[in-house]
Amino acid sequence: MAVANWKIDNIVHGLQQARHDWRESQHRPKEFGGRELPSKEALKAIVDDLCGILFPMRLGPADLRQEGEDVYIAFTLDKVLSALYEQVRLTLAYEARYRISATIRDSNHQPDAAMIQQQASSMVQTFANALPDIRRLLDSDVQAAYEGDPAARSVDEVLLCYPGMLAITYHRLAHVLYQNNVPLLARMIAELAHSATGIDIHPGAQIGKSFFIDHGTGVVIGETCIIGARVRIYQAVTLGAKRFEVDDAGNLQKDYARHPVVEDDVVIYAGATILGRVTIGKGSVIGGNVWLTHDIPPHSQIMQSMPKPKISV
């Protein structure tokens, strides 16, 4: 059987030209050497290790025993923080280069490597310091899922099997990075969870303790959402923006509050859509497939209206 002789030289050249044209259009410096952006594969390995650190006897290695927990955590934490440091450093260097190239158009002007390394080290230490608090928050989320779902046989089943639990675990990690000004890494972690579960939580969303997403597929939670404690939501719920503001030149505005505020003890059933900077008052229940674009006072019950059945006589 003859082997095809692929004519690839023109393709390689065409791809080279396409990259060049893109970089020119984006005012990117031409050459820096080495990897320019953080790696999704590296982040996936980091998050997997962090899950094992947070829950060693359930998400850690299969042969781990309780008497070895602290040794395993110390060893893995040292490894994972070094790996995370490199991803943060890459992110900060990329963002610094992007700012430089967008302002002075000088490809020879390099970011301050020592300052970036110092910033990356400080950010990773801050992230590490938050891990005990993240664990306590996740414990409250596990307990909320167990208490909120009659199908849950144990808290261990929730942690091992529930996609909502995986999504909120990733979110709690990503949110700390987002708060510490590494939004690109935070968004990449959020997208790992989105790909695995179908649950899309922006890392900027502020979510209180004892949060439970039941089933979860199709849930969307926007960047500026604020969600209180003991909130429960079901599949296909959207907490989104009603409209996107633009400036005088027609460019989309960013960094403004545009998503809902959901107060404590709210339940939102499947398919509900809540849009804009509206407030859902404490203790309210939002029924399935409801569409909301206005504030709801505390302890409200909002249900989709149903037509009265016709009775034949």
Range in 2-6, 28-32, 97-101, 255-259 with the lowest mean pLDDT: 28-32
Per the CB < 8 A criterion, the answer to whether 134 and 172 are in contact is yes
Tens digits of per-residue pLDDT, 206-215?
Answer: 999 999 999 9
- State how far the alpha carbon of 220 is from the alpha carbons of 96, 188, 258, 276, in Å: 31, 16, 14, 13
Looking at the chain, the whole-number percentage of residues with pLDDT higher than 90 is 77
Find all residues with CB under 8 Å of 23, minimum gap 6, and list them. 30
Helices and strands (DSSP H and E) totals, the chain: 9, 14
Looking at the chain, the whole-number percentage of residues with pLDDT higher than 70 is 89
Per the CB < 8 A criterion, the answer to whether 278 and 292 are in contact is yes
Name the CA radius of gyration of the chain, rounded: 24
pLDDT at 250: 77
pLDDT at 108: 54
Distance CA 97, CA 111 (A): 6
Tens digits of per-residue pLDDT, 107-151?
Answer: 555 668 899 999 999 999 999 999 999 999 999 999 999 999 999
Tell me the average pLDDT of the chain.
91
pLDDT at 25: 82
Put the strands of the sheet holding 301-302 in their side by side order. 212-213, 232-233, 267-268, 285-286, 301-302
Domains in the chain: ranges and CATH: 34-199 (1.10.3130.10), 205-307 (2.160.10.10)
Distance CA 118, CA 126 (A): 12
Per the CB < 8 A criterion, the answer to whether 137 and 209 are in contact is yes
H or E element at residue 123 = helix 113-129
